[in-house]
Structure 1
Amino acid sequence: MTRLAIVRQKYNPAGGAERFVSRALSALSQDGALEVSLIARKWEKVAGIHALTVDPFYLGNVWRDWGFARAARRAWLREGYDLVQSHERIPGCSIYRAGDGVHAAWLEHRRRALSGFKRLSLAINPYHRYVCRAERAMFVDAALKLVICNAHLVKREIQRHFGLPDEKFAVVYNGVDTDAFHPRLKIEHRAAMRRQWKIPEAAPTLLYVGSGFERKGVERALRAIAPLAGVHLVVVGRDKHAVRYQRLAEALGVASRVRFAGAQNEVKPFYGMADAFVLPTLYDPFPNVCVEALASGLPLFTSDSCGASELVRPGENGWVVDALDVEDLTAAIQVWLARESQWPALAEAARATAEPLTLSAMARQLTELYRRFL
């Protein structure tokens, strides 16, 4: 039996990174091929997985990440695990799951959206400098055998920055529950949700879901719909600066067409009320919300710096624009509006795109990868 350790500072079974591997690990554990342990600072109980708490004292985010990395590596060396899969940037792991993308690439995208002074502040920020050093040390470490990416975008970025060969990569898209996220959500929820949120039944409605409004493009979505009379936008998610975006909607004259719904425990009814999904994110390796939207039959408006753009066939199941090009996003939405008679076909194409990306298919792919090392 192979002993595998999974490393994650804060392990939440409902989190995107954790859901990504849970099914494969469960299958391998059940057939006796794998004994799974968890190394984490904080964790929620996971059936069948032994947890090892590593929680060194820290002050500040640099010390936090450095201290955890140092303590986690000591723990896995002491325990003598056969394989170590890290979700954190820690040199010496066997497998790295690059769910957060490449920090060096994120900084490149971030600089595009900043003024000169803020660019300088970004460059000298000690946390970013630490993460970039840790990232490079991990990718060039001889112990690293496999990098699991959730998009080809991430693979290309790692190769561009660190030069790893193709054989060290596997690309596995995030899976989605295609039964829970389904076009029938429109039948179940559209009328009631539109009454609840006071959106006319026939009004073209875009949905945004996510936290981190600045990075994920809420401002750009607001500006994009401003010249499009009658288009509504529903924003689902929490952000500490939400009031700033509400004021922007008022300044743009679109407040009557925008609903800020805040964080929601159940998002499926919102997919059911919408006609399309918008996420003009500055950088996102592969957001789960995009495949949830496609599975729900919503065409997708996103950016070319989003891994989910790899699923988009422009004009068939969505549109892809530059993250900072608001005019291009407006133009894409205008094209969609002009093709209202074809919306059922767009919805069918969106659903068909997501149908192969089931959770069981993702688990099978991961299981095959793990068996290579068992």
Structure 2
Amino acid sequence: MSKVRLAIVRQKYRPDGGAERFISRALEALEDGSLELNIITRSWQGEPKPDWHLHICNPKKWGRISRERGFAQAARACWQREEFDIVQSHERIAGCDIFRAGDGVHRVWLEQRARIVSPLQRMLAGLSAYHRYVMAAEEEMFRSPSLKKIICNSVMVKNDIIRCFQVPEEKFAVIYNAIDCQRFEPATPAERQKSRAQLNLPAEAKVFIYVGSGFERKGLHASITALAATDAHLIVVGQDKQQSRYVSLARSLGCETRVHFVGVQHNVIPYYHAADGLMLPTLYDPFPNVILEAMACGLPVITSFTCGGAEFIVEGEQGFVCDALDVAALTAAAQAIPLRTVDARMGDAARQRVLPCSPQRLADQLHALYQHVLQQP
């Protein structure tokens, strides 16, 4: 039987990115010899597997629109020339067979961002040629007759696409990201103690962790403001060009000694092990992997209605969900989450919720999806 030639399109392939982890986990689990794996990308970081075929499409670029348009044209030319059996794009490019909506809907993100920026910034976003280009590319792709299936990593994103583009229900496949629950495990008392000692955190303090770069979108301002009203500590894992603004915010609220900026970490597990819960009131996020990681580590989650991860949380059971900007609700949620050493039931329920999200389940769902697409005319 001949191999199915699958092409994955991702403009910048970074091994630590959320979309890339989805791809690599899926492809590793799918390596049963039935697929020939092709990656169409502008640039690749890290070592590809020996049997992955790389197609570098790196046309010249002069700005953001030229970057997006140039890659879209080069990638489409590549897959048309190669005549792959299935083209799965993680970029907004019309003509693919499958699109994975890992970044959600651009229009919805702009709607949410408009809630926190100045009137001038809102006006500039409305006039931005780049935002108009992205929204037009998105619309063209969702309305393309070539598009057979849309992979969403949350029901929230599926509903956003239906609302904005009237795509029929049968085109969707909701496939949640995978998590390795053997690697991400709750801390033993000794691991918790060690992590806290290394971070100079008090043994008896309540500690929350925030994980994510791009502090504006992922709700760090609201997190710091909410925790300022408690005596809890916050570990901030990630980076942002505006970090000094958040350091100043913590200082102005009198909680700078309880907010710990630790930068980007290649291994976040010791930081989860030091915490009692995850705080991520993101303005708009399809389904961040950090929610799965934290829940697998036995941490209850506080997140927002505009985060796909909210689908895994029953109020008061695995954590709490509120509006991204509702500081009073975030504070109340932080106060309601107990120390893990005192009461681990909420954290244990969080872990139980993500146990089914195994790489093998993801692979089985993708395999079934590819078979379905291949059978379509």
Gaps of 5+ in 2: none
SS at match of 1:356: coil
- Supply the AA of the counterpart residue of 1:356: P
Using the TM superposition, give the Cα deviation of residue 238 of structure 1 relative to its aligned residue in structure 2, in angstroms. 1.1
Using the TM superposition, give the Cα deviation of residue 22 of structure 1 relative to its aligned residue in structure 2, in angstroms. 2.8
Using the TM superposition, give the Cα deviation of residue 137 of structure 1 relative to its aligned residue in structure 2, in angstroms. 0.2
- Supply the AA of the counterpart residue of 1:180: R
1:265-306 Cα deviation digits (max 9, x unpaired): 211000101011100110100000001000000000000000
Q: Is the Cα–Cα contact under 8 Å of residues 38 and 52 in structure 2 kept in the other structure?
A: yes
- 2:284 counterpart of 1:256: no
Using the TM superposition, give the Cα deviation of residue 346 of structure 1 relative to its aligned residue in structure 2, in angstroms. 0.8
Distance 2:22 2:123 in 1: 36
Q: Tell me what 2:18 maps to.
A: 16
Distance 1:227 1:2 in 2: 56
Q: Is the Cα–Cα contact under 8 Å of residues 29 and 359 in structure 2 kept in the other structure?
A: no
- Supply the AA of the counterpart residue of 1:200: P
For residues 1-374 of structure 1, the aligned pairs below 5 Å read 1-31=3-33, 33-44=34-45, 45-47=47-49, 48-183=51-186, 185-228=187-230, 230-337=231-338, 343-374=343-374
- Supply the AA of the counterpart residue of 2:310: S
Distance 2:181 2:343 in 1: 20
SS at match of 2:95: coil
- Supply the AA of the counterpart residue of 1:204: K
Q: Is the Cα–Cα contact under 8 Å of residues 210 and 234 in structure 2 kept in the other structure?
A: yes
> Identity percentage over the alignment?
49
1:106-162 Cα deviation digits (max 9, x unpaired): 111111222221110111111111000000000000000000000000000000000
Count of aligned residue pairs for this structure pair: 370
- Supply the AA of the counterpart residue of 2:110: L
Change (3 A) 1:340 1:362: closer
SS at match of 2:59: coil
Distance 2:63 2:354 in 1: 40
- Supply the AA of the counterpart residue of 2:72: A
Distance 1:162 1:347 in 2: 38
Q: Is the Cα–Cα contact under 8 Å of residues 9 and 40 in structure 1 kept in the other structure?
A: yes
Using the TM superposition, give the Cα deviation of residue 34 of structure 1 relative to its aligned residue in structure 2, in angstroms. 2.2
Q: Is the Cα–Cα contact under 8 Å of residues 30 and 363 in structure 2 kept in the other structure?
A: no
- Supply the AA of the counterpart residue of 2:299: L
Using the TM superposition, give the Cα deviation of residue 46 of structure 1 relative to its aligned residue in structure 2, in angstroms. 2.1
- Supply the AA of the counterpart residue of 2:142: F
1:312-352 Cα deviation digits (max 9, x unpaired): 01101100010011111112222335x98973111211111
Q: Is the Cα–Cα contact under 8 Å of residues 235 and 260 in structure 2 kept in the other structure?
A: yes
Change (3 A) 1:331 1:28: closer
Q: Is the Cα–Cα contact under 8 Å of residues 175 and 362 in structure 2 kept in the other structure?
A: yes
Q: Is the Cα–Cα contact under 8 Å of residues 24 and 367 in structure 1 kept in the other structure?
A: no
Q: Is the Cα–Cα contact under 8 Å of residues 187 and 272 in structure 1 kept in the other structure?
A: no
Q: Which moved more, 1:326-335 or 1:349-358?
A: 326-335
Gaps of 5+ in 1: none
1:240-278 Cα deviation digits (max 9, x unpaired): 111111111111000111111111121100010101110
